[in-house]
């Protein structure tokens, strides 16, 4: 990769030792970058082809309002998403305000009183714990509606096949839940290959069990998505990977046609389904964002790899290591020290294109049980495909870094963050 270190010195005046370290880092990760570029090409062509196949035209960018009947743009978007994800159908809507809402819609969409939900990747993401009812707060969680919940932890970074089989044979499991990405935990993320294997295993024992995947942060990191290896439903956020930093809100659910209809009725109300939902002029953002997504995901992955290498060189434990297999864009760095964690996040903020002059502090964020510090200075609130770094302030003080729309932004952020912890 050609990187202008002279410019880095000229515009940012980093000290020569740090610049040398950055230079060595970029040289050492060359091979990993090549692999990232290759997957990017694949996904870029896959998406472009879906645009061509579905004859996207300029008029599809028009808006609808009110009920949103006959929104041909929205319909084309959902066809394109279905093709890209290899799924029968999809629901891609600005009416999802977050990934949590899309996942929640998926769960309430298909589960009924008396059904059992089984998570096989351990405890789900923080904000979903209230949705399920395993954490107090809010109204109308799954458990309150008479839906049972059990979970099996991962075992040695894979699924605990023995336990899963026992549970599937003991009782009727309506849906199995898998979280692809690590979320705020120190486990490894789960590859598409492993998701495919466990899905086959589940279907062999219990063909009617619905396999549901939380796909947040995973889109376009590999060549395939969970719905291409047998998952029945998956969901994610448009202010993460598939929105390509352009979509300013929204979420998606993709999967089997009948299940998508159930989810659409849950989102829009019984009997309304997919036919309503005004796009309000957001079709362009959603489409352009999807088109850019593989490129931005690749830039983000390069930032993650750069960070892993440089932080490991400086003596920190990182997960994954720079050359380890990746299935999401998250890079964890273990600080084991509260102050270092906070300083690092504050340094990342200094690299962000927006709000680089503010200092983030830990706060009580809705949906989380610990204080969370969030470095985020992008063009969309809360987006984490733009450069961002967040951390629940708890042992062992791990920072989770994601994004940026270009590699250079990430490099400046990480080098500024290193400066911050060095100055302590």
Identified binder of ligand PLP from the candidate list 125, 149, 316, 344, rule CB under 6 A: 125
CA 350 distance to own-chain centroid: 23
Q: Which stretch binds ligand PLP (CB under 6 A): 214-222, 259-267, 280-288, 312-320?
A: 214-222
> Which of 181, 206, 227, 241: binder of ligand PLP (CB under 6 A)?
181
**Residue 277 within binding range of ligand PLP, rule CB under 6 A:** no
Q: How far is the CB of 59 from ligand PLP (least distance, A)?
A: 31
**Cβ proximity to ligand PLP, 263 vs 418, nearer residue:** 263
Span of 82-90, 96-104, 170-178, 203-211 interacting with ligand PLP by CB under 6 A: 96-104
Our CB check for ligand PLP shows the closer of 61 and 176 to be 176
Which H or E run contains 178?
Answer: strand 175-179
For ligand PLP, which is the closer residue by CB, 307 or 327? 327
- Retrieve residue 180's tokens: 């692809």
Map tokens 């319909």 to a residue.
75
Among the residue ranges 52-60, 98-106, 318-326, 354-362, the one whose residues contact ligand PLP (CB under 6 A): 98-106
CB neighbour class for 263 (10 Å; exposed up to 12, middle 13-18, buried from 19): buried
Closest separation between CB of residue 263 and ligand PLP, Å? 16
Helix boundaries (H) for 148-242: 161-170, 192-205
Burial of 137 (0-12, 13-18, 19+ CB in 10 A): exposed
On whether the CB atoms of residues 308 and 331 are closer than 8 A, the answer is: yes
Burial class (CB in 10 A: 0-12, 13-18, 19+), 364: exposed
Phi-psi region of 225 (alpha: psi -120 to 50; beta: other; left: phi over 0): beta
The reply to whether 237 sits near ligand PLP by the rule CB under 6 A is: yes
Please identify, using beta-carbon distances, which residue of 25 and 191 lies nearer to ligand PLP: 191
Q: By C-beta, is 180 or 350 nearer to ligand PLP? A: 180
State which residue, 108 or 125, has the beta carbon closest to ligand PLP: 125
Q: Helices (DSSP H) in 126-184: which residue ranges?
A: 128-132, 161-170
Does residue number 214 form part of the binding site for ligand PLP (CB under 6 A)?
yes
List the one residue from 50, 106, 216, 286 that touches ligand PLP (CB under 6 A): 216
**Owner of token pair 């499991």:** 173
**Residue 386 near ligand PLP by CB under 6 A:** no
Q: Residue 90 in contact with residue 255, Cβ under 8 Å?
A: yes
Closest-approach residue to ligand PLP (CB): 99
What contacts 315, CB < 8 A, 6 or more positions away? none
298 binds ligand PLP, rule: CB under 6 A:
no
Among 25, 54, 95, 98, binds ligand PLP (CB under 6 A): 98
**Residue 158 DSSP symbol:** B
Minimal distance, residue 226 CB to ligand PLP, in Å: 13
- Length of the chain, please? 424
Omega before 31 within 30 of 0, i.e. cis:
no
Least Å distance between CB 315 and ligand PLP? 27
Least separation in angstroms between residue 201's CB and ligand PLP is: 22
Please, what is the angle between helix 16-28 and helix 283-313, to 10°? 110
Instruction: Quote the least distance from Cβ 384 to ligand PLP, whole Å.
Output: 7
Task: Please report which residue ranges of 247-334 form alpha helices under DSSP H.
Answer: 257-268, 283-313
Total residues at interface with ligand PLP (CB under 6 A): 12
How many C-beta atoms surround the C-beta of residue 359 within 10 A? 11
For residue 300, state whether it binds ligand PLP (rule: CB under 6 A): no
Cβ atoms 144, 133 nearer than 8 A: yes
127 scored as a contact of ligand PLP (CB under 6 A): yes
Which residue in the set 100, 185, 227, 307 belongs to the binding site for ligand PLP (CB under 6 A)? Answer: 100
By CB under 6 A, is residue 392 in contact with ligand PLP? no
Q: Which residues bind ligand PLP (CB under 6 A)?
A: 98-100, 125, 127, 179, 181, 183, 214, 216-217, 237
């Amino acid at each position: 990769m050609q990187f202008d270190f002279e410019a880095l010195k000229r515009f940012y005046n980093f000290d020569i030792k740090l610049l040398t370290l950055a230079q060595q880092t970029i040289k050492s990760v060359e091979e990993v970058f090549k692999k990232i570029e290759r997957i990017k090409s694949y996904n870029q062509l896959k998406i472009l082809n879906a645009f061509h196949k579905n004859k996207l035209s300029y008029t599809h960018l028009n808006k609808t309002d009110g009920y949103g009947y006959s929104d041909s743009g929205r319909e084309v978007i959902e066809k394109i998403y279905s093709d890209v994800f290899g799924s029968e159908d999809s629901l891609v809507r600005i009416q999802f305000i977050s990934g949590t809402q899309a996942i929640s819609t998926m769960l309430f969409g298909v589960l009924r009183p008396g059904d059992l939900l089984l998570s096989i990747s351990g405890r789900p993401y923080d904000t979903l714990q209230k949705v399920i009812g395993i954490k107090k707060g809010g109204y109308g969680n799954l458990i309150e509606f008479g839906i049972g919940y059990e979970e099996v932890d991962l075992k040695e970074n894979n699924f605990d096949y023995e336990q899963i089989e026992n549970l599937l044979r003991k009782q009727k499991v309506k849906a199995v839940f898998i979280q692809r990405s690590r979320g705020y935990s120190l486990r490894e993320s789960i590859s598409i290959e492993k998701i495919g294997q466990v899905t086959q295993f589940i279907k062999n024992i219990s063909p009617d069990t619905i396999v549901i995947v939380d796909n947040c942060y995973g889109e376009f990191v590999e060549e395939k998505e969970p719905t291409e290896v047998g998952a029945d439903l998956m969901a994610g956020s448009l202010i993460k990977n598939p929105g390509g930093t352009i979509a300013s809100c929204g979420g998606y659910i993709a999967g089997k046609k009948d299940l998508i209809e159930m989810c659409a009725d849950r989102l829009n109300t019984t009997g309304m389904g997919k036919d309503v939902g005004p796009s309000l002029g957001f079709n362009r953002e959603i489409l352009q964002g999807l088109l850019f997504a593989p490129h931005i995901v690749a830039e983000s992955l390069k930032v993650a790899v750069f960070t892993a290498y440089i932080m490991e060189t400086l003596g920190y434990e990182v997960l994954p290591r720079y050359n380890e297999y990746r299935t999401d864009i998250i890079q964890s760095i273990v600080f084991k020290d509260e102050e270092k964690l906070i300083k690092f996040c504050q340094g990342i903020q200094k690299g962000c294109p927006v709000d680089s002059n503010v200092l983030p502090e830990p706060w009580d964020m809705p949906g989380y049980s610990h204080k969370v510090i969030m470095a985020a200075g992008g063009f969309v609130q809360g987006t984490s495909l733009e450069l961002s770094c967040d951390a629940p302030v708890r042992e062992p003080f791990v920072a989770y870094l994601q994004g940026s729309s270009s590699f250079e932004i990430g490099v400046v952020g990480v080098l500024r963050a290193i400066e911050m912890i060095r100055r302590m």
